[in-house]
Amino acid sequence: IRYIDDMQLTGKRVFIRVDFNVPLEGRRITDDTRIREALPTIQKALELGGKVILASHLGRPKGPEPKLSLEPAASRLSELLGGKHEVILADDCVGDGVRKLVKDQKEGQVLMLENLRFHKEEEANDEAFARELASFADVYINDAFGTAHRAHASTAGMVPYVKEKGAGLLMRKELEYLGGAMKNPAKPFVAILGGSKVSDKIKVIESLLPKVDALLVGGAMAYTFLKAQGLEVGKSRVEEDKLPMAQRLMEAAQRLKTSLVLPIDHICSTELGDKGPLREVPDRAIPADLIGLDIGPKTRAMYAEHIRDAKTVIWNGPMGMFEVPRYAAGTRSVAEAMVANKNAVTIVGGGDSAAAVNDMGLGSKLSHVSTGGGASLEFLEGRELPGVKALETK
Ligand code: 3PG
């Protein structure tokens, strides 16, 4: 893969696929991490004299939906560029209007195309649509790691029709950190997986078990494992149909001599949300009337110890129902233990855990917080990402 800082861009039209699929409340961006993380690539392209054309999707619209316009992202980008570059938002991503804007674009201006998914051809990876996007560009750069698991027109289809192709600096950072952990991790290598469903993480567990020294489990998925061990888990969320799979994963861990570590105590209540009495359960088993909602203090200490001794730590998925403050301690303790280990490469694999870490203001204290959700999971599953494959030079 070639990278943008190694390319000749002077006077060239540089089409950069970014992932500006940011969370919105109305027209307000509630987390602009993905836009900030794309800045180095955008600035590099401008610095190298390229005419920058940005393209992204936002949400999952069915046709043009004004509330999913990229307008808030364009204004935010303009602010982040310090007003030094005019950011022009086209009213579409293809068509004569866009063609004219591309033709008239002046050096230093940034042209942003409107939401790619306003056209169903984007997700359908339609060839004519892909060719039209390609016709705007001399150089194609993909910096949208978060969307690299999609084989869409802007991430895959258009690439062969542009003269030159390469990856951006965010893409490089993501591939270096996540790829480094998968291929050549410093040992001990500890993975922490959480979230509500085992089913979402089966492939990640299978792919990590042979690589890690310990895999620590939290979140509701831990209750499926505990139940598969024959323990009482009360009214906690369990995927009954995944009990045999959980059993098989624990056997696989034993064969591989990898410790698959489960919670030894819990924070529970009789109800979901922040209602019901808060109960600390000091055992592995959970009484019949209770729901497990976070890992307990003994588990937090034990997981922190594993993290303290590691040289590589990778984390994906919260340890409990962290959006309710009284169940956020487990998730927070993992984040803090990672921050405290200055001798390790510490990676957060995106999604909810990345949002949690950024909310706590700890993101910048870790080696890498991925901007990918689904993309980082697929990467950790060991799958090839179509958006990355398209950049590979033969
Ligand atoms: C994401 O947020 O995971 C990416 O932007 C991809 O979005 P999608 O799941 O709608 O394809």
Annotation: binding site for (2R)-3-phosphoglycerate: 34, 117, 150
CA gap 74, 109 in Å, rounded: 12
Whole-angstrom Cα distance, residue 352 to residue 197? Answer: 13
CA 47 – CA 107 distance, rounded (Å):
11
Instruction: Express each pLDDT in 276-320 by its tens digit.
Output: 999 999 999 999 999 999 999 999 999 999 999 999 999 999 999
Of 296, 330, 351, 363, which residue is the catalytic one?
Answer: 351
What is the per-residue pLDDT across 41-74, written as a single tens digit (0 to 9) for each? 999 999 999 999 999 999 999 999 999 999 999 9
Q: What pLDDT, on the 0 to 100 scale, is given for residue 351?
A: 85
Q: Which residues pair with 13 in a beta bridge?
A: 51
Instruction: Categorize the per-residue pLDDT at 231 as very low, low, confident or very high, splitting at 50, 70 and 90.
Output: very high
Give the C-alpha distances (Å, rounded to integers) separating 221 from 180, 200, 218, 317: 27, 9, 7, 10
Sequential DSSP letters for 130-187 = HHHHHHT-SEEEE--GGGTT---IIIIITGGGSSEEEE-HHHHHHHHHHHHHHHSPPS
Can 99 be counted among the known catalytic residues? no
Marked catalytic residue, from 203, 308, 374, 389: 374
CA nearest 198: which of 233, 232, 239?
239
% pLDDT > 70, the chain: 100
Q: Is 374 a catalytic residue?
A: yes
Q: How far apart are CA 389 and CA 148, in angstroms?
A: 9
Taking the CA of residue 123 as reference, the ligand 1 atom at the shortest distance is 11
Residue 306 near ligand 1, beta carbon < 6 Å: no
Is residue 33 in contact with ligand 1, taking CB distance under 6 Å? no
Instruction: Match 């991925």 to its residue by tokens.
Output: 370
Q: For position 76, what pLDDT does the model report?
A: 98
* Predicted TM-score of the model (pTM): 0.95
User: Is the minimum distance from the CB of 64 to ligand 1 under 6 angstroms?
Assistant: no
Whether 60 is in the pocket of ligand 1, judged by its Cβ within 6 Å, is yes
In the chain, the percentage of residues whose pLDDT exceeds 90 is: 97
Distance 103 CA to ligand 1 centre (A): 30
Nearest CA to ligand 1 atom 6: 147
Which residue, by CA, sits nearest to atom 9 of ligand 1? 374
Interface pTM, i.e. ipTM: 0.99
Q: Is the CB of 31 under 6 A from ligand 1?
A: no
Query: Mean pLDDT, the chain, as a whole number?
Result: 97
- Whether 163 is a known active-site residue: answer no
Averaged over 7-29, what is the pLDDT?
Answer: 97
pLDDT above 80 for 394:
no
Instruction: Determine which residue's CA is closest to atom 7 belonging to ligand 1.
Output: 147
Amino acid of residue 364: S
Q: What is the pLDDT of residues 112-136, one digit of tens each?
A: 999 999 999 999 999 999 999 999 9
Query: What's the pLDDT tens digit per position in 308-346?
Result: 999 999 999 999 999 999 999 999 999 999 999 999 999
Question: Does ligand 1 lie within 6 Å of residue 346's CB atom?
Answer: no
Question: Is 276 annotated in the active site?
Answer: no
Q: Which residues fall within 8 angstroms of residue 248, CB to CB, at 6 or more apart?
A: none
* Residue 33, pLDDT above cutoff 90: yes
CA of residue 21 to ligand 1 center, whole Å: 7
pLDDT at 60: 97
Q: Is the pLDDT of residue 205 over 90?
A: yes
**Of 56, 57, 155, which is best to mutate to test ligand 1, by the most ligand atoms within 8 angstroms of its C-beta?**
57
Q: Which domains does the chain have, with CATH numbers?
A: 4-170 (3.40.50.1260), 185-380 (3.40.50.1260)
pLDDT confidence band for 275 (50 / 70 / 90): confident
Kindly tell me if the per-residue pLDDT of 35 is higher than 90: yes
Encode pLDDT of 162-173 as tens digits.
Answer: 999 999 999 999
What pLDDT is attached to residue 393?
Answer: 82
Beta carbon of 151 within 6 Å of any ligand 1 atom = no
State which ligand 1 atom lies nearest to the alpha carbon of 57: 5
